[in-house]
Structure 1
């Protein structure tokens, strides 16, 4: 059983602004898919 009912989850997902999500995802991928930055994250392993 999930934490939220599917209808509640879907209603909140539909309220999200897709342009904000897209912008945030592009910012995330620009940073975390950068191989130089990934090389500096080796301390996490």
Structure 2
């Protein structure tokens, strides 16, 4: 999955603070809130995952 069409997700993981696994969880949860992306609801759901 390219980020900005330049760097692959796996290659860019070294630049990220979160693990690839955690980012996948965030992405899957965020998809449920598209296209408006309610950040508070996403964070609340993420806190249940931890």
Question: What is the TM-score of this pair, normalised by structure 1?
Answer: 0.36
TM-score by length of 2: 0.33
Larger Rg: 1
Looking at secondary structure, tell me which structure has more helix per residue: 1
